[in-house]
Amino acid sequence: MPEQKMIMTREGMDKLEKEYRHLIDVERPDVIEALRQARAQGDLSENADYDAARNRQAEIEDRITEIEHIKDIAEIVEAPKGGKKIFLSNVVTYREKGEKGLEQVKIVGTVEANPMAEPYPLISNESALGKALIGHVPGEKVMVECDDPYEIEIVKAESGK
């Protein structure tokens, strides 16, 4: 059975490709050099530099493999031109019912999600909030279906920045 595609924004794929190139072109050669220098120190059985370099090499190779896998199954999805409905890569401003302040999030693919990102959280299209927003338009009120459901009003949606 073929593996399910993973949807991503173009921006997310570009960022992943940049990380991949950095790992291949910078990190991998650096760790190879660190291993060479550690080996030159002699006895490897009690060589902390060698152990650290081997651990770093394993981390780098694991991440390279992970990125290659993501790239193999990724499908770049972009918002339709001129579309009014909220879609992947939109930056959405909303207000939770009963609250005065506005919140802002960007909807991205699962692998790109980062709730601590600045200037606004990057939320997955698979999250409760992402699912509630996609397909709706500014001015609508929607329910966010989660353990403790809540209502939000969509104030504004912009194409990703």
Q: For each of the domains in the chain, give its residue range(s) and CATH number, in order of start.
A: 6-76 (1.10.287.180), 91-158 (3.10.50.30)
Q: What is the mean pLDDT of residues 119-145?
A: 95
Question: What DSSP state is assigned to residue 23?
Answer: I
Candidates 115, 95, 96, 107; CA nearest to 159 is 107
CA atoms of 122 and 59, how far apart (whole Å): 25
Q: What is the pLDDT of residues 34-60, one digit of tens each?
A: 999 888 887 667 778 888 899 999 999
CA atoms of 3 and 35, how far apart (whole Å): 36
Q: What is the mean pLDDT of residues 75-95?
A: 87
Q: What is the pTM of this model?
A: 0.79
**Cα dihedral across residues 137, 146, 75, 113: positive or negative:** positive
CA atoms of 63 and 69, how far apart (whole Å): 10
104: which residues sit within 8 A by CB, 6+ positions away? 91, 92, 93, 94, 119, 120
| pLDDT at residue 123 greater than cutoff 70 | yes
Q: Would residue 139 be called left, alpha or beta, if left means φ above 0 and alpha means ψ between -120 and 50 degrees? A: left
